[in-house]
Chains A and B, each alone.
Chain A
């Protein structure tokens, strides 16, 4: 994938603050997402990782415009969609879809599978050639479900099957980019692999771009071309998959990777254990947000916020005053 390709999705300074009120007075804001910049090229898969509460789900919701950004801009296929109204979004909705985390909450229990998958077609008034039913059955087949199950209800399916229904629904409008919000973390490990493989096949066959949100670095590694690591509403490191996994520069990325058994050996450094809790996004630390848990933190980290910049002129950007340079001790 060449770097010159025009990005499909371009995010600049994306911010979401949730106001916290005490009675009628504003008491501050939860800074869930605080200034993100990233691009996704056509057909590319960007992984968004971080601990729970780091703002990755909020980011995904903003991308598909389920949440209004507080600041920043989202450009999709050359159009600024940050403030687009419902009517303007019509065409956009077709190109940008979302797969949800919880396969039990994401399907309307009162609708048959057929109706659920047909919903995006129906609300957009689209009648595909050959009829809605035919298209829905094609979609069901595409995601590995039996098209005969058209008239069944969600409660008659397993978690993995339900997630396939959710995927079929997201694909109904033939989108160009799909936001997958932890699509497998609610599933059994054995089922996770099947769903991931399905998503990878679909990505390849349909040339889909993905923003793949997960807290699990192993899943991301199997699926993504590029990876962005988030901490407390910020991207701390972003780069090509191999760079991130082989030569992580940010201490936080290292700590995350060291916790994944099949990525790092338990060499001399062993597993890096992070101490302390994630600080509250109501009042994040000054300077570098990770400094309160970082073993390399200095005074500079408390006063000066590190910029997200490349160290070696490549594609890997890191926001750290004291980046690591050596490779991670990788066994494979």
Chain B
């Protein structure tokens, strides 16, 4: 019996390795551990451990260029955010990744200045 005339999966096929296998059936990590904006980068001197799964290696590659947020990692890796959090949690525990809390919004923008600028603009172009 030949197999070449078998119909291919006509519609797009889902990923071969399912996310629950990637996390090995682990429960989701607590929401308080990471937020979408938690910043992640590779550790300076990664430990020599047993070989990592391809998905974990991919995460390390993604974070090699600098700080990436959890949301960005999930987008690039094509994995659900919750799954990425589990992987990042593991890699952080093992010492491969370094996690930094998100920069608080108050430090980024001063609301008062923005309001003044807005008022000024409205006064001028209003």
Q: Do A and B bind each other?
A: no
User: Which residues of A come within 8 Å of B, CB atoms?
Assistant: none
Interface residues, chain B, CB within 8 Å of chain A?
none
